[in-house]
Structure 1
Amino acid sequence: MTSDIHSLVGAYALDAVNDLERAAFERHLAECEACRIESAELREAAARLADGVWSVPPPRLRETVLAEIAATRQLPPRTATVAGGGPAARARLSRRHLLSAAAAVVIAAAGAGTAVYTVQESRVREERSVAEAARDQQARVRTILASPDVEVRGETLRDGGRVTVAYSRLRDAGVVMLAADAAPGSGRVFQLWTVRSGTAVSEGVLAPGEAASVTIVERVASATVVGVSIEPPGGSATPTDMTAGVKII
């Protein structure tokens, strides 16, 4: 078994370890978040790459092909004499034709496989980027909340629920935690705001149906109020229906 337990993550994700290595690595997973994340991502990537690309042909494919054959001029039979003559030579020629056709099919299949792999790889890269962004945000939230000067203030939402603001002058940033009892009705959405020098600045718009969020607000030292309003989908340029406001000065 390898002396570096971290190096087993790829083999483990592909189920290419022995029983001893599997047991050791699974004990390691309980303590190593980085390996848990990487193992999960590798398993997902492997599963995606293993997906079949076969699809059911359209119902009229056979009729279309036969119609094209009927309308296509056929070449006359080959009459040239094969060097060496006889059935054996003709058989060799037939085998060469078959091998050439088989090689063409393999090349075409390899090209299709490469295209599928490229698409899948792009998706994996995109999902990895999203996961990395989420981890970065979580680390930033923990840093703000752990600041020695952090202050926490909150306000009840008009229709139930609460908005809580934890902010640090030292970090010049805050975390806005929205937890409404329900999402706004009539297709409307929550929008977050800060008030800076008397002007409302949008800090993000929730999607329709969302009732909770965790948002990082930068340059919090210049803000005096954090507010929540109810707006049309996509948000508004200025608040139209405030449901809560938290003074942070």
Structure 2
Amino acid sequence: MSDDVHSLIGAYVLDALDDIDRAAFDRHLRDCDVCRLEADELFEVTARLADGAWSVPPPRLRDNVLAEITNTRQLPPAIPSRPQPRSSRRGLRLVAAAAAVVAAVGAGAVVYQIQDQRVRDTQSRLEAAQASEARVRSILGASDVQTHSEQLRSGGRVTVSTSRLHNAGVIMLAADSAPAAGRVYQMWTIQSGAPASAGALSEGQSAAVQVVEGLPAMSNVGITIERAPESTTPTAPLDALVDLA
């Protein structure tokens, strides 16, 4: 099996692995969530590519073709050609085989490029999440960190920690439950009475940890319940208002 087992997913989906490699890759799928997801998506793609590839001919197609024969000029008598040497016939077979191989390799390359891009996208999201987690830890662990907290009217709590050394803060929202369908929690920073959105949660989401750059310069953090996906201005009354002074 290849040293980079992930690169075999294209061949696996195209059923181009031998029995040993396929068994080994089956074992790998049990432990690799990324490859299992990619394999499911690629199987769906290949199934869709096959859709519409063949259809039943129209019922009158045969009759129409036979009718056109009488109106079509026939080819002149064929002139017998010299028998092709065995080497020529073998050459043609090799060309055909080579074309088939090129087509298969091309299809495999396309599948590999698709899954490779998805792996890179997943890796990028993972690295971004790790960087965000490290940023949160650095702010919460700062020597000058200040923490303020308030209850949510809807149930739960919002906690805001700020660090002037990092010129940033962390908003931690932990609601007892998500808002009703079609509504979301939204966070706001407020300075001199002017609110600015600090991000909205997704529908059905009741908890979030959000890093906000420049938060120590703000006077308040507010939480509202808005229509999904988010609002440009906060809807009164606020579900919570945290004083950062």
- TM-score > 0.5 by shorter chain: yes
Q: Distance in 1 between matches of 2:122 and 2:211?
A: 21
Q: Which amino acid aligns with 1:55?
A: A
What residue in structure 2 maps to residue 27 of structure 1?
A: none
Give secondary structure in 2 for the equivalent of 1:228.
Answer: strand
Structure 1: segments with no counterpart, 5+ residues: 1-9, 15-39, 84-88
Does 2:75 align with 1:95?
no
Q: 1:1-249 alignment to 2 at 5 Å?
A: 11=3, 48=38, 54-55=46-47, 57-58=50-51, 61=54, 63=56, 79-82=80-83, 89=85, 91-241=86-236, 242-249=238-245
Conservation of the 8 A alpha-carbon contact between 2:179 and 2:185: yes
- How high is the TM-score relative to the length of structure 1? 0.71
Conservation of the 8 A alpha-carbon contact between 2:182 and 2:228: yes
Report how far residue 247 of structure 1 moved: 0.5
Conservation of the 8 A alpha-carbon contact between 2:162 and 2:216: no
Distance 1:108 1:130, change over 3 A: same
Distance 1:46 1:93, change over 3 A: farther
Conservation of the 8 A alpha-carbon contact between 2:177 and 2:206: yes
Q: Distance in 2 between matches of 1:194 and 1:146?
A: 22
Give secondary structure in 1 for the equivalent of 2:239.
Answer: strand
Report how far residue 137 of structure 1 moved: 0.2
Q: Distance in 2 between matches of 1:121 and 1:139?
A: 27
The percentage of aligned residue pairs carrying the same residue is 40
Q: Distance in 2 between matches of 1:60 and 1:13?
A: 32
Q: Which amino acid aligns with 1:198?
A: G
| 1:181-206 C-alpha deviation (Å, 9 max, x unpaired) | 11111411110001012200100011
Q: Distance in 1 between matches of 2:52 and 2:233?
A: 55
Structure 2: segments with no counterpart, 5+ residues: 7-28, 66-71
194-203 or 74-83, which deviates more: 74-83
Q: Distance in 2 between matches of 1:107 and 1:190?
A: 54
